[in-house]
Amino acid sequence: MADTPFRQARWTVADKIRAILPEQTLKQIEPMLERVELEVPERKVKTPHLSALLEHAAESRWVRVLYRSENHRRWLQLLPRRIYAAHGFWYCEAYSVAHEEQRTFRVDRFEQIEGMDEPVDALEKIRREKGNHRSHSESSIRMVVRLTYRGALLAEQDEHIGEYVRQVSEDVWEVDFMCPAAEWRWAVRFFYTLGLDAEVIEPESLRSEIFEIARQVSERYRLKP
């Protein structure tokens, strides 16, 4: 299987449609298929454990993986739930014993993987996770952010908040959503990286954290006398 999604086969959407449609129907829509294709970014990454991960996920088996994240390189106990391709990378949604909740992991950052028995108290922790999910709104923070056209385009690409982007005037967009408290650091980074294409309206604490990051960046690039 290719490391980057579709790298070897490089099938377009049209190729897939042609393969499954009856000949008569295909003749009718052939002109449209000539204008349809799927673009996948080229990524120079390797996913040597993808096939094994797919097998474990299909059988709902627990795995022990050595995972390299932004801040850690450590062994994790995971129950893979979904594997998908997006933005040229393979991702795995899995319940993590260490985090006691479902997280999303980049498959190319799996350095080792091995099957394992179900951890002690795993079922109880998963039931607790589901209970926490039901009370999700109680531990979430409302975020309202004003966006430019470019900011709206970038926010719409996010799989979690994209659907909440709305146009509120001729040249102003807005995203209004409940952000899980556990994703606070993501929100700070995401809206900071949008720069002048986003203005946080609320909460004030998010505005303050983005201001502090901007201040630190300003100090780093301040011209020396």
Q: What is the pLDDT of residues 78-127, one digit of tens each?
A: 999 999 988 888 999 999 988 888 899 999 999 999 999 988 777 776 67
Q: Inter-axis angle of helices 13-20 and 23-33, to 10 degrees?
A: 170
**Could you give the CA distance from residue 19 to residue 14 in angstroms, rounded to a whole number?**
9
| C-beta of residue 1 within 8 angstroms of C-beta of residue 83 | no
Average pLDDT, the chain: 86
Q: What average pLDDT does this structure show over 165-186? A: 94
Q: Which two tokens stand for residue 123?
A: 């079922």
Distance CA 141, CA 180 (A): 6
Q: What band does 63 get if pLDDT is binned at 50, 70 and 90?
A: very high
**Are 114 and 62 part of one and the same domain?**
yes
Q: How confident is the model at residue 153 (pLDDT cuts 50, 70, 90)?
A: very high
Do 80 and 145 share a domain, yes or no? no
Instruction: Indicate whether 193 belongs to any domain.
Output: yes
- Is 225 inside a domain boundary? no
Answer yes or no: are the C-beta atoms of 155 and 163 closer than 8 Å. Answer: no
Look at residue 66 and tell me if it is in a domain.
yes
* 85 shares a domain with 99: yes
* Domain extent at residue 184: 139-218
* 20 and 69 both lie in a single domain: no
Among candidate residues 134, 167, 199, the one where a domain is terminated = 134
DSSP 3-state of 105: strand
Please check whether residues 57 and 32 belong to one and the same domain.
no
- Domain-located, residue 223: no
For the chain, percent of residues with pLDDT exceeding 90:
56
CA distances to 46, 76, 127, 205 from 99, in Å: 26, 9, 14, 25
Q: Which amino acid is it at 12?
A: T
- Alpha-carbon distance 122 to 125, whole Å? 5
| Pair 176, 144: CB distance under 8 Å | yes
Give Cα separations from 156 to 41, 55, 74, 184 (angstroms): 18, 32, 33, 19
User: What is the percent of the chain with per-residue pLDDT over 70, rounded to a whole number?
Assistant: 85
Mean pLDDT calculated for residue range 176-190: 92
Range of weakest confidence among 111-115, 119-123, 178-182, 184-188: 119-123
User: Which residues lie across from 225 on neighbouring strands?
Assistant: none
Residue 19 and residue 66 share a domain: no
| Residue 44 lies inside a defined structural domain of this protein | no
Query: Does residue 62 sit in the same domain as residue 129?
Result: yes
Does position 134 have pLDDT exceeding 80, yes or no?
Answer: no
Tokens (6 digits) for 37:
């294709």
Question: How many structural domains comprise the chain?
Answer: 3
Question: Is 92 domain-assigned?
Answer: yes
